[in-house]
Structures are given as C-alpha cells and as structure tokens.
Structure 1
C-alpha cells in the first residue's frame, strides 16, 4: 500500500514528505489505521537520528512512536507503534491492536497526540516504578521542558503533597506555579550554585524525576544527600531523560552513606503490557482537561520545516496528514 509519509533516508537529514510502501498487516493482532495526529516528541527525533538506544540503524524509516487514528470499523484509537513496523508519521499506519486504547468520539485528537508521550514518562514512573504515596514530595529535575512541565502536573494529580520544579528556562519556570509547583529553583551555568539552592528547597523530598542526568544530576544528587536530615530515609531517584548528557560520574559514597535508590523509566524498564494498562486512565486525565496541554498542529506535508524549526518551550508539535 503506497501512502504519503515522513521518510528518513539519512540520519543526517530531516524526514522528507514522500511516498512510502506500507507493509500489509500480518496476523490477527495487526490492523491499518488512518492516522489523524502524531506527536513530534524528542523521542521521535532521537529515533530518526539513529541516536536512541532502541535504534537498529536500518533505513529508510518512517518516524513516529504513537498517534491517534481511526480503524476501518470506525473506532477512534490512541496507539503506540511497534518498533518492527513503520512509525505513525504517515497517512496510514499498521498498528498492533494490543498497543491501543479506544477513545471517545468527542476527544481532541491533537491534545491526545501531543500529551500522551510526555505525560506517560512521569505517569508510569509514579504508578509503576515507584508508586507515589499520598502526601509524598517530589523534585522534578528538568521541569521546564515539555515532559518536565507535565511531570509537575502529574505528580500533583497523583497525590504529591509538595512539588519542587527545577529548570533552566526562566519563562517556562515562571509557569510552573500555575501547573502545581510549590517551589521553583532556577538552574544556571553554575552547578554548585544550583546545587546549593536545590539543597535548600528539596533536601527532604521522597522522589526525584530526573530528565537531565549527567553533571547537573550528579551535583544535585550529592547536594540533596549532604543536606538530608536523615540519610537512612529512602530517596528514590527515577532517571527518565538525559538532556544534559548520557553518562553520570557518581562517587561511591553516595550509595554507601545514604538510602539512595536509583532506577530508570523507559522502554525495557517497564513492560509493554504495563504501559498499555496505564493508557485509559491517562487518556481520561488529558481528555478531561485535568492536565494542561499546549499543542500546535502542522500539516504532515510540512514535516521538514516543522522538524528544523526551533522548539517553543512547553509547546508540542503535532503532525496531521
């Protein structure tokens, strides 16, 4: 089946809008959907550049890890793509029906396509990796990015008593109070100064959602542990993103002198079945308006321009065929 799609033929170039031969569905668990909206997430960009840890290096490819589409029987669905199939940035896509959830007909497809991926990282982290207990406090490290802003809202929705949001972008930082942050911390070029402010604001948090990693995370981690009144009280550090870099140098004393528990949240850390089980409740949060979403819709034909345009903090681009 020939469809119009965003096609990556080189990891050094943005996708181009052109024809692509979509494979036929195989087996009872595959179906074709007419794609209505697909989010341009950072995870999509890293996969299309060959840098994501799940990348196979095979080209050409159609990017897109999720989307909203309509099945042949008329049902409106949100779906997560299969790594072995072309992605969602096409007029049509082959999906695994075990990775979808049926949506209400009156849902805003752009909102759902924009919000599900960035919200899912913190939603699953706080429900599956380290289930949050009512009243616990949370630090979102990297809270001025799209996923970080969602994480502030998700933490509050799931019962956090206190949320600290930390990030670099001053304009986005100013918005966090309206999204549920009780305290904000500005991260600058000076890691030591930022660490001191984090120690003052967040030394007693129960959980950290880390979208930064690398040197800023290591500095923050040590600062929080040194300032903690009772180091034997558990501090759960959930590594989600690596905006600041892929590796972290951590003194061994951090693990011996405190009850620090580090784990990640992403593909492989949580089963596909567990992710899918969380889809209905998150769809409800987004479609009901309980999570604020800022999205802009762009025609799929303009994918190259959308791909190379500067990101607007807090705004997620959604492509529509």
Structure 2
C-alpha cells in the first residue's frame, strides 16, 4: 500500500510502498480517504515534543476519515506519541472502540480539516465555557482552525455578537468569512489599547472569551468582559504567560478556565465529532492534496505557506 513515512525525526515524510497492516486484538482496518496534517503531527515528527523522540520509520497522522466495510468513520491514532503508525496511508489499523460512525453523505475532506481542532472549539465553548444564546463572544486566534470553528459554532448557538481577534490580514479575512461581526487586529502588545479595541467591537460587556493564544491578547480581551464573564484558555501560541492583572479579575469576578482535549472521554469526543459532521455548513479554510505529494505539503504546512489546513487525499 502507499504511505507517507517519517524516515527520521525532524525530516519530512517520504512516499513509500508498505505491506498492508495486520489488525491486532480489538482493532479494525480502515480504508483511509482523508488525513489532515496538523500541528500535533508536525510537533511529534520533530522529535522535540513532550512525548519524546518517536520510533522511526513510522506513518504520521493522528486522525483521519475513512471507511470500514463501506461505512464512513472518523478515527484517531497515537502516531508519533507512542510506537505505531497513523492515518497518512491507504490503510490504518485502529481500535474499533475509537471509531466514530458518520453519515454516509459526509464530506471526508471537510470533516478531516475540522477534526480534533474543531472538537476543542466545540467543547471549550459549550461544556467548559457554558455558551448560551444571546451572549457576546470574543474569539481570539480566529484565523486558525480552532478560531474559525468557534466563530461559526457561536453563531449556530445563537450568540448575539461574535468578535474575532486575528493578527495577519489573511487571518482577519478568514475570521470575517467565518461570520464574525467585528474583527480586531492583534497588531500591538499594548494591553490597554487592545482592550479598548475589544470593548468597542463588543459594543457592551462581553460574556465569554475563547482563547487559544494567551499572552497579551488574553489579558486585553479579559478587559472587555462584564461581571461574571468567562475566559476559556486552550492554548499558548502568543505566550505561556499573560499580563492578566488581578484588578481585572477581581473587579468583575471573572472566571478563567482551562481546556484540553486530553481530558475528553471517548464518548465526549464522539459526541463532538457527530455534532460537527451533522453541521454541514461548518467548514474551515483547507487544501486537498494527493497523498503522493505529502512531502511538499508537509513542508508548506510547517512553514505556514498553506491556504489553511492541508488534507491529504488517499
């Protein structure tokens, strides 16, 4: 079978022919249709992640969409985190308990592009953030996959107003395309200035901030929250620390909440994937690339030169 294979840590994948995988106890073989190249795939393959140096060669791909006996399924893998192979191949072995059944008419590339990033947006907004209809939501990093999904999900949940924060012009345009009412440029490290921009864009006290950035953007967005407002953090791409001041937290009795997909049960994950699959209007910027072009696609994704999330099509 055709597969993308990481030959050594820190190197892009190479296309190779492999023997089809043999399922172990409790596993099934999935015929892969679409596999996204995600930040976690890039991190694991670098050999610098907290999971340690992966055993090479291996097939990367921590998630994918495919079929089992003609039935459409979404599936996760632990490729790069534990020994074994992932989704970037014609066939993948997966524990049957991890499969999530999908509608037969699902677009595999759309769902693969959403994947676990969209699961994080869904759970952080709902289960952790407690979003209700009529609230005002600020979504930071709204040009990324998590942010694009969060803007759309907040809209679908009945948010009264959705404000996006994004850095580059391209990211700001993606946020607008996702349906944000207003977009704030994250082009300054002045917390007061940025906070004033968020407050003006919100048009009143905001209720919830979805924050995959932390750092200055989180501290600024918190200043736009009203009494009892919530900030849900699910990443630190703008900084591992934040100048979020005590007076802002105390004066409005704000709640700062942490979120990670690692805390999800299989049932939680399956519930979110099912919700995302059913919301056919939900999509993020993505590219379809044939599996045989995985090496160049991998390097473009790593360098930030892709038009959104790259999805390898098998």
Q: Say yes or no: TM over 0.5.
A: yes
Structure 1 residues 89-168: aligned runs within 5 Å: 89-168=88-167
Once the two structures are TM-superposed, the CA of residue 97 in structure 1 deviates from its matched residue by 2.0
Match of 1:209 in 2: 210
Structure 1 residues 1-321: aligned runs within 5 Å: 3-19=1-17, 24-28=22-26, 30-53=27-50, 55-60=51-56, 61-71=58-68, 73-82=69-78, 84=82, 85-192=84-191, 193-202=193-202, 204-221=205-222, 223-224=223-224, 228=226, 233-285=227-279, 288=280, 290-309=281-300, 310-311=303-304, 315-321=308-314
SS of the counterpart of 1:197? helix
Instruction: Report the more deviating stretch, 94-103 or 193-202.
Output: 193-202
Contact between 1:35 and 1:93, CA under 8 Å: does it hold in 2?
yes
Distance in 2 (CA, whole Å) between partners of 1:32 and 1:80 is: 13
Contact between 1:144 and 1:314, CA under 8 Å: does it hold in 2?
no
Once the two structures are TM-superposed, the CA of residue 148 in structure 1 deviates from its matched residue by 1.2
Distance in 1 (CA, whole Å) between partners of 2:133 and 2:103 is: 30
Once the two structures are TM-superposed, the CA of residue 139 in structure 1 deviates from its matched residue by 0.4
Post-superposition Cα deviations, 1:226-268, rounded to whole Å, max 9, x if no partner, equal xx4xxxx222111123222333354444544432222222232
TM-score when normalising by structure 1: 0.84
Once the two structures are TM-superposed, the CA of residue 172 in structure 1 deviates from its matched residue by 3.4
Distance in 2 (CA, whole Å) between partners of 1:191 and 1:12 is: 36
TM-score when normalising by structure 2: 0.86
Aligned-CA RMSD value: 2.5
SS of the counterpart of 2:206? coil
Number of equivalent positions: 306
